[in-house]
Structure 1
């Protein structure tokens, strides 16, 4: 039997009875941080486990759920501190919300040009193709979120959903749609007629590049899924298509698919989205690449993070 004292860091309105003493009917080497969170949630039902950040007293680093109290260095009767992380939302739900934005915004602007531009917009082949590619991309992302991705973290603060969604809802949603479906790109526009954007061979070449990148991205996601059994946080070194050159080929192929759309349109909005996305994905890739190299001593040293032979 183990006794743990849990006190609050800052204001914890959902657990006004803190500090509390929790008794668990296990040995010190068997009690995990998750067990302590569950016990706290039993005493304060509204203060559910994913809202809790448990730390050793006087420290700021969160303790991982799977770590035992013995591994933390805590002794029987020791003290942990808990912080309220705020309302939480599942990562899967967050991604579904993020990708839903363009799926709503693009059809609204594409199908109702009179409302947005004050006139009908006779659709060019370019506009029709971009509309189809964008919808296909985000439908794929939604399906991957539901059926393919496995997340190492169960939840995130609810407030973050607005920040995360802005990237897709504003940049690849409203900004891109408002630019590409405007009269500037319609069937009679000078910007389109007689240019590459009116050339079926060029447009289908861009679409072929987009398809290659999308399928490659999917394959990389499936590879990563195969490395993590459901319900676990297992991490392994990924190998295979794309991973021989970079740690995050799914990010690389994601960028390529948007470069294809940006090249097809020549739109400032599309290139701006490519630039912002490339920066964000590069930062994520560098972080993951560093984590791989730190965790696995045998990690291939010749791999780059996101761009083959470059970065």
Structure 2
């Protein structure tokens, strides 16, 4: 039974890699139908706060389920518990905290909401089941340079992501409308500092977990966020004549 599920997880990882390829090709062709770009797309819409809560919920629920079920064989090992906790902490913030802090978020297209929900269900299962049932680490893995470096990147990335979201939420003072150029933090270097933080976070997770599952998730994150970041970057340059020319798209000083 466990062998069958491990084969299933392997197949799902390769499927996620294929989805990353399809995502970057598809989004480059048609753009991302969300946020400020969604009004140009027809279709049913879901209010922003419940959409965020529901679509992110599976990626919080899966690791929680693995923690409480008695048959989670590998969670007796410290590295597995810490890695699964890293995944869970991110999605607790995205599921329970981020939606509450949204200010005037635009409704989400139903198709975008459904795809996000399906991905979080799919990826939440892959990461949670692998770490709780199949991933084998030495007990001292938490002192290995790969884990320590990955954990540091994960933590720094999460801080950048949360801080950048805070900057974006507070661009407008009460009663103001319209768009402004983000200032401060990593926005002085890139147009999509919040995306850069999330990318660093999952690259750190991939390094700390030293797993194909983590690497493919990081690649999927790159494929989706890079396309969105390019869209943001182009929009800012078209919208604001004084937009800083030195800012990169996603990765400071590089891209």
Moved more, 90-99 or 285-294: 90-99
- Given that residues 137 and 214 in structure 1 are in contact (C-alpha distance below 8 angstroms), is that contact kept between their aligned partners in structure 2? yes
What is the CA distance between 1:181 and its match in structure 2? 1.6
Q: Report the structure, 1 or 2, having the larger strand content.
A: 1
- Given that residues 261 and 270 in structure 1 are in contact (C-alpha distance below 8 angstroms), is that contact kept between their aligned partners in structure 2? yes
Partner of 1:104: 61
1:166-245 residue pairs with structure 2 within 5 A? 166-171=118-123, 173-185=124-136, 192-193=137-138, 197-199=141-143, 203-229=147-173, 233-245=177-189
Moved more, 283-292 or 205-214: 205-214
User: Which of 141, 149, 154 is the equivalent residue of 2:102?
Assistant: 149
Name the CA shift for 1:184/1:213 in 2 (closer, same or farther; >3 Å): closer
SS of residue paired to 2:241? coil
Q: Which whole-Å CA distance do the structure 1 matches of 2:191 and 2:228 have between them?
A: 11
User: Which of 133, 142, 157 is the equivalent residue of 2:86?
Assistant: 133
Moved more, 176-185 or 99-108: 176-185
SS of residue paired to 2:187? coil
Mark the runs of 5 or more structure 2 residues left unpaired by the alignment: 1-37
SS of residue paired to 2:103? coil
Name the CA shift for 1:140/1:299 in 2 (closer, same or farther; >3 Å): same
SS of residue paired to 1:307? coil
Aligned positions, number: 218
Runs of 4+ in structure 1 deviating by more than 6 angstroms, as ranges, are none
- Given that residues 180 and 267 in structure 1 are in contact (C-alpha distance below 8 angstroms), is that contact kept between their aligned partners in structure 2? no
Mark the runs of 5 or more structure 1 residues left unpaired by the alignment: 1-61, 65-82, 186-191
SS of residue paired to 2:249? coil
Moved more, 248-257 or 160-169: 160-169
Greater RCO (CA < 8 Å, at least 6 residues apart):
2
What is the CA distance between 1:139 and its match in structure 2? 1.4
Residue 158 in structure 1 maps to residue 103 in structure 2: no
Residue 305 in structure 1 maps to residue 255 in structure 2: no
SS of residue paired to 1:234? coil
SS of residue paired to 1:246? coil
Q: Which whole-Å CA distance do the structure 2 matches of 1:94 and 1:231 have between them?
A: 25
What is the CA distance between 1:167 and its match in structure 2? 2.3
1:239-278 residue pairs with structure 2 within 5 A? 239-278=183-222
Name the CA shift for 1:236/1:86 in 2 (closer, same or farther; >3 Å): closer
Q: Which whole-Å CA distance do the structure 2 matches of 1:183 and 1:286 have between them?
A: 37
Q: Which whole-Å CA distance do the structure 2 matches of 1:167 and 1:230 have between them?
A: 35
- Whichever of the two has the greater Rg, that structure is 1
Name the CA shift for 1:86/1:307 in 2 (closer, same or farther; >3 Å): closer
What is the CA distance between 1:178 and its match in structure 2? 1.8
